[in-house]
Amino acid sequence: MSPARLSDVGIASCRSCGRVVATLRAELSFTPGVEPAVHWYESERQCRCRATRLPRPAALPASVKVRLGDLRAAAAAARPWEELTGRPPLRLVV
Ligand SMILES: [Zn+2]
């Protein structure tokens, strides 16, 4: 069992071939005040371009940071879980 809740924040597609590269997933702790952890998951990768790299979480666009801020606020306020997971993932090009 995971001690955190997961929310898909974004889906990255390749700038060259347009195929899916990875999903950006946020892990929200049940402990208040803990920053969401973000990780790339490449299990459904379709892009085979060697040059395509995923940005480090710290280098993600502002739209991702806004979404993470919303998730953090929703988690802190103990709002319904659907508010954290109900929004469609952001489309990112890498
Ligand atoms: Zn590609």
Distance in angstroms (rounded) separating the CA atoms of residues 62 and 56? 13
What is the 45 CA–ligand 1 centroid distance (Å)? 9
Does the pLDDT at position 24 exceed 90? yes
Distance 58 CA to ligand 1 centre (A): 22
Model confidence, pTM = 0.85
Tally Cβ neighbours within 10 Å of residue 57. 17
Structure confidence at residue 3 (pLDDT): 67
Residue 90 alpha carbon to ligand 1 centre in Å = 18
CA distance 35 to 16: 33
| DSSP alpha helix (H) spans, 5-89 | 62-76, 81-85
Question: Is residue 20's pLDDT more than 70?
Answer: yes
Per-residue pLDDT tens for 45-82? 999 999 999 998 788 999 999 999 888 888 777 777 77
Q: What local confidence, expressed as pLDDT, does residue 2 receive?
A: 52
Whether the CB-CB separation of 56 and 21 falls below 8 Å is answered with no
Pairwise CA distance, residues 39 & 3, whole Å: 16
